[in-house]
C-alpha cells in the first residue's frame, strides 16, 4: 500500500493533539512533519505541545517546526478560555525531550513541496492559515505542486464560535485564509457545521479511557477538560473534536458529505470579519473553490478514532 504523504500544520490545542495522534496511529498515512503556528496559544507553546504529542505517540523521530508567531497583518488572538493556559490542559504530560527542528516551518513547507513530485503531498491544516499563506507568498511555484489541502475552518449554518459570524481558525488570520481559498489548490473544509456533530459524549470518553494506553487515557483527559467550555456555551453533550475530522476524512471520506461550492472570506467588515461566505445554495455565479462539508457519521468517526488510538503506546 502506498502511503499518503501529509504535512500537519497545527496549533495544539487538545483537538489538534487528538488529530495528530489519529494520524500517527494510521498506517495509510506518512506524516512528513508537523509545522506549528500561533493560534490557540502562542507559538512557543504550540511547538512545545506538538513535541509532547509526538512523544506520547512514541514518535520522537518526527520533525517538528516552529512557524509564524503572528497573523499576516493582525494582532494574534488566542483561545486560552477554551484550551487552558498551556493549550493542552487536562492530562499531566512530561515536557518534551525531542528537539525542535531548527528550520522555519515555512522553509520546510517550501523545500518539501519543491522536492516531492507534483500532487503527492497533502496539507492538513488545523489552525490559522498563516504558515501556508506565507509560503505561498514567498514561493508561488509550490502552489500547483500541492496535492490538496484539507482544512479545519469556517462555518456556514453554525456561523461562528469566536465571534457571532466567524470560526476561530479563519478569524485569527482572515487575510491568510483569503489567500488560501483563492489559491486554486483543491480544498476541503471541515467547518463547525460538521465538527459540532463530532461530540465526545460520556460513553465515547469512557471508551477512550478504557483503552488503558497512554494515548487513550490522555485523549479522555484532554476531552474532559475541553468539554467544559462547549457544554457551558452550547449546552452540548461533550467536546467537539474539530481537528481530528481532517485526518478522518483522509482515512474514510465516506463518513462525510458536503458540497463543492464557492467560499469567500470576509476581510474588511469589523462586524463579520473572518466569516466564510459559502454559496451553499448556489445563488451566485462565483466558481466553486472548496468542498465544504456539511455532515458526518459521528458513530463511524468515533469508532475509527477509538480503534486507531488503541494502536498507540
Residues in contact with ligand BDR by the rule CB under 6 A: 13, 15-16, 40, 79, 82, 126-127, 152, 161, 167-169, 242-243
Asked if 129 and 151 touch (Cβ cutoff 8 Å), the reply is yes
- Grid cell 502511503 — which residue? 3
H-type alpha helices, 148-251: 168-172, 174-181, 192-195, 202-210, 214-234, 244-251
Among this protein's residues, is 242 annotated catalytic?
yes
Nearer to ligand BDR, 142 or 188 (CB): 188
* Torsion angle (degrees, nearest 10) of CA 210, 212, 215, 218: 70
Closer CB to ligand BDR, 101 or 243, in the complex: 243
Cβ proximity to ligand BDR: between 33 and 154 the closer is: 154
Q: Which of residues 10-49 bind Ca ion (CB under 5 A)?
A: 11, 13, 16
Q: Which of ligand BDR, Ca ion, none sits in contact with 266, Cβ below 5 to 8 A by type?
A: none
| Catalytic annotation, pick one of 83, 196, 242, 260 | 242
- Would you give the end-to-end CA distance of the chain in angstroms? 23
Kind plus residue range of the DSSP H or E element containing 123: strand 121-125
- Per the CB < 8 A criterion, the answer to whether 258 and 295 are in contact is yes
Pick 128 or 258: Cβ nearer Ca ion: 128
At closest approach, how far in Å is the CB of 96 from Ca ion? 19
Partner whose footprint covers residue 64, from ligand BDR, Ca ion, none (CB < 5 to 8 Å by kind): none
Nearest CA among 22, 14, 11, 10 for reference residue 226: 14
- Identify residues 117-176 at the interface with Ca ion (CB under 5 A): 126-127
Minimum CB–partner distance for residue 141 and Ca ion (Å): 28
Active site residues: 242
Kindly list the residues in this chain that would bind Ca ion in the complex (CB under 5 A): 11, 13, 16, 126-127, 243
Amino acid at each position: 500500500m502506498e502511503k499518503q504523504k501529509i504535512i500537519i500544520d497545527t496549533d495544539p490545542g487538545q483537538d489538534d493533539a487528538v488529530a495528530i495522534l489519529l494520524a500517527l496511529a494510521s498506517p495509510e498515512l506518512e506524516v512528513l512533519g508537523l509545522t506549528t503556528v500561533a493560534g490557540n496559544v502562542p507559538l512557543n507553546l504550540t511547538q512545545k505541545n506538538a513535541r509532547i504529542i509526538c512523544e506520547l505517540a512514541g514518535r520522537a523521530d518526527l520533525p517538528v517546526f516552529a512557524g509564524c508567531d503572528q497573523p499576516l497583518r493582525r494582532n494574534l488572538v488566542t483561545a486560552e478560555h477554551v484550551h487552558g493556559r498551556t493549550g493542552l490542559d487536562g492530562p499531566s504530560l512530561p515536557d518534551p525531550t525531542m528537539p525542535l527542528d531548527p528550520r522555519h516551518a515555512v522553509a520546510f513547507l517550501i523545500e518539501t513541496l519543491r522536492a516531492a513530485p507534483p500532487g503527492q503531498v497533502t496539507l492538513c491544516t488545523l489552525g490559522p492559515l498563516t504558515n501556508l499563506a506565507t509560503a505561498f507568498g514567498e514561493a508561488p511555484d509550490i502552489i500547483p505542486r500541492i496535492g490538496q489541502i484539507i482544512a479545519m475552518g469556517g462555518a456556514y449554518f453554525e456561523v461562528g464560535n469566536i465571534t457571532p459570524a466567524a470560526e476561530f481558525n479563519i478569524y485569527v488570520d482572515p487575510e491568510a485564509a483569503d489567500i488560501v481559498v483563492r489559491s486554486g489548490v483543491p480544498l476541503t473544509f471541515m467547518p463547525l457545521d460538521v465538527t459540532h456533530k463530532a461530540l465526545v459524549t460520556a460513553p465515547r470518553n469512557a471508551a477512550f479511557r478504557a483503552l488503558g494506553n497512554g494515548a487513550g487515557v490522555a485523549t479522555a483527559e484532554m476531552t474532559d477538560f475541553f468539554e467544559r467550555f462547549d457544554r457551558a456555551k452550547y449546552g452540548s453533550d461533550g467536546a467537539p473534536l474539530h481537528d481530528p475530522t481532517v485526518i478522518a476524512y483522509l482515512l474514510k471520506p465516506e463518513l462525510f458529505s458536503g458540497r463543492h461550492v464557492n467560499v469567500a472570506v470576509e476581510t474588511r467588515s469589523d462586524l463579520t470579519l473572518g466569516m466564510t461566505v459559502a454559496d451553499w445554495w448556489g445563488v451566485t455565479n462565483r466558481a466553486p473553490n472548496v468542498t465544504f462539508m456539511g455532515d458526518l457519521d459521528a458513530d463511524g468517526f468515533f469508532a475509527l478514532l477509538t480503534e486507531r488510538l488503541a494502536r498507540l503506546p
